[in-house]
């Protein structure tokens, strides 16, 4: 049995797992992420792999990182939430681990995990859209992970959907993640609740009477309980995502679209308006096939599983 280690590096924690050829996670561990210290991050990764390796014969390591990774899968050009700037992470890790190492964008790794073992296992072309603090994702075309000429493709959250719209953390205006992310969902709900009126009363009560304490799980909870205001907030989010996915599908023509991240907990409260907007904004209907929109299957382990498999390959 060939085992690989998948590492998922985030701004608050680093997760690692031992993954077999069937995509099963045999062992799992997490440590805090010293996100502002490059050397400390590397040390944490080495310690995590070493601990997992003590009990399992790991043969390769895949590291998923939120940021731009060069086409050689070695250097992290830029990471927004971790202090990596043009760091050849593979060159740093391989001598210390004495194992082959592959570095990949975390969303790309998640897309590969879903394609190989999850929601896209039965198709050759998959678009993964992950919705959390921002909007991320990855693309698999003809069975191959699409990375672009320089390795930094598939940044789908920065597709512009509104000209001169909301300022995004990337420095541009009107990006999809400013309208279709968990951050946007909470921002809009708080603004509406603080604006007066009684439509958001149930949600404000959940937040202890403070509109500015509203968060994503509260909105989902209220919507699942039948609150019209919360249902509308999730529907608005779904419509933005559906429009963005339609634009992407116009170019990519995927066989399936997998939607993951925290929004998965809301289920059809987001998926139904998303699917409706996707169909309404996709050019050519009813004269072309409509890709199936599915929930992602692997949860927050998709990146870890995908990174491990990419390293093994």
Provide the CATH topology of domain 3-113+301-312: Nucleotidyltransferase; domain 5 (3.30.420)
Q: What is the pLDDT of residues 279-308, one digit of tens each?
A: 999 999 999 999 999 999 999 999 999 999
Please state the pTM of the whole predicted model. 0.93
- 95, two tokens: 């001598």
pLDDT bin (cut points 50, 70, 90) of residue 10 is confident
pLDDT bin (cut points 50, 70, 90) of residue 79 is confident
Q: What is the pLDDT of residues 238-265, one digit of tens each?
A: 999 999 999 999 999 999 999 998 888 8
User: Thinking of the domain 122-296, which architecture would CATH place it in?
Assistant: 2-Layer Sandwich (3.30)
Residue 54 to residues 9, 47, 64, 93: CA-CA distances in angstroms?
Answer: 21, 11, 22, 17
pLDDT bin (cut points 50, 70, 90) of residue 37 is confident
Lowest mean pLDDT among 97-101, 188-192, 259-263: 259-263
Q: What is the pLDDT of residues 48-66, one digit of tens each?
A: 999 999 999 999 999 999 8
Which of 27-36, 194-203, 295-304 is the most confident on average? 295-304
- Compute the mean pLDDT over every residue in the chain, rounded to the nearest whole number: 94
pLDDT of residue 196: 78
Residue spans per domain, the chain: 3-113+301-312, 122-296
Q: Is 122-296 the same fold as 3-113+301-312?
A: yes
Q: Does the pLDDT value for residue 34 go beyond 90?
A: no
pLDDT bin (cut points 50, 70, 90) of residue 81 is confident
Residue 20 to residues 37, 57, 214, 229: CA-CA distances in angstroms?
Answer: 31, 11, 40, 45
Q: Are 102 and 60 in contact (CB under 8 A)?
A: yes
């Amino acid at each position: 049995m060939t085992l690989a280690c998948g590492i998922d590096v985030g701004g608050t924690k680093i997760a690692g797992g031992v993954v077999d050829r069937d995509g099963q996670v045999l062992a799992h561990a997490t440590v805090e992420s010293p996100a502002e210290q490059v050397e400390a991050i590397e040390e944490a990764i080495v310690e995590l792999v070493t601990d997992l390796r003590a009990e399992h014969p790991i043969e390769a390591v895949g590291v998923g990182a939120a940021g731009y990774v060069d086409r050689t899968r070695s250097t992290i050009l830029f990471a927004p939430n971790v202090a990596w700037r043009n760091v050849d992470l593979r060159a740093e890790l391989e001598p210390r681990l004495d194992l082959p190492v592959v570095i990949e964008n975390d969303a790309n790794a998640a897309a590969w995990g879903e394609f190989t073992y999850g929601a896209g296992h039965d198709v050759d072309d998959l678009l993964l859209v992950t919705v959390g603090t921002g909007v991320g994702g990855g693309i698999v075309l003809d069975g191959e992970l699409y990375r672009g000429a320089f390795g930094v493709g598939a940044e789908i959250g920065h597709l512009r959907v509104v000209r001169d719209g909301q300022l995004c953390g990337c420095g541009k205006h009107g990006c999809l993640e400013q309208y279709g992310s968990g951050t946007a969902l909470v921002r809009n709900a708080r603004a509406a609740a603080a604006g007066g009126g009684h439509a958001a009363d149930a949600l404000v009560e959940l937040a202890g009477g403070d509109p500015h304490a509203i968060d994503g799980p509260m909105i989902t909870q209220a919507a699942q309980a039948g609150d019209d205001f919360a249902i509308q907030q999730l529907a608005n989010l779904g419509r933005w995502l559906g429009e963005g996915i339609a634009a992407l599908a116009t170019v990519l023509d995927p066989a399936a679209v997998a939607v993951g991240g925290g929004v998965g907990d809301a289920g059809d409260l987001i998926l139904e308006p998303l699917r409706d907007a996707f169909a309404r904004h996709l050019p050519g209907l009813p004269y072309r096939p409509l890709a199936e929109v599915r929930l992602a299957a692997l949860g927050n382990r998709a990146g870890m599983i995908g990174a491990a498999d990419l390293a093994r390959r």
